[in-house]
Amino acid sequence: MLLAITRDVSPRFNECEITHIRRTPIDVKIAQSQHHEYVQVLKELGCAVLELPAEADLPDSVFVEDTAIVLSDVALITKPGADSRKPETESIARALAPYRELVFIESPATVDGGDVLVVGKNIFVGLSTRSNKQAIDQMNQLLGKYGYKTQAVEMRDCLHLKTAVTRVDDNTLLINRNWVDVENFEGYDLIHIDPSEPFAANCLPVNGSIIYPTTFTKTTAKLEARGYKIKPVVVDELAKAEGAVTCCSLIVM
């Protein structure tokens, strides 16, 4: 059984970091309700969910993806790029310790999990305002012994690499080619989002289904035409904090 680690929405969620979108008012109660429904979908898809309590003083802490990279034989605890988010890793390290050997990114390296795309033994890291080249060097040192190769990817106009491209399966990626160059992913089958839906490249595959926002109907149709089973979720309030479906869980296989 898959384990999904989640964390409840902070009551200070509307004080979240914003980088690439315009700040708009967030209804915390709606965000909490949407997150609850997201957790229910994980359970419906067969995940055991470890639900961590909200961190009241860490507004972005619902986005647990940014705190760790969970691989089959090791978990890397990140060093988030925003100073306000660095304390989020402490409770995640404790939660993961029973399940994986832990290794840690150290300063001056910084990396958000949202910038890290793992496809098989290949790890792509977006060079962003949150993740730097020192982190890539450390990841090659820490994870190379497990057979992983980490490489940098240039990106533009979005917060994280996984805003621009995510894994559908080990051969297939969902991508917004306006935010990341397709040349970085030679050899993979690429599904291009509908250009009218620029934020549509973030999807979460779980147990044969794809957790995916209801907002992106045209890209949903593209995925369904390829035979993928879509499990729709409403996450528009979470998206006001630059969040997406991969952001809100850590999947432990």
Give me the active site residues, please: 160, 247
DSSP, residue by residue, 42-107: HHHTT-EEEEEPP-TT-TTTT-GGGGEEE-SS-EEE-B-SSGGGGGGHHHHHHHHTTTS-EEE--T
For 42, 59, 123, 218, 248, the CA distances from 71, given in Å and listed in that order, are 19, 26, 10, 32, 17
E strands of 113-235, at which residues? 116-119, 122-127, 149-154, 165-169, 172-175, 189-192, 204-206, 209-213, 229-233
Tokens encoding 102 = 């832990």
Written as six digits, the tokens of 165 are 């491209």
Strand-strand pairing, 172-175 and 165-169: antiparallel
Report CA-CA distances (Å) from 14 to 61, 80, 110, 244: 12, 19, 24, 16
Q: Which of 155, 107, 108, 104 has the alpha carbon at shortest distance from 129? A: 155
CA distance 84 to 131: 15
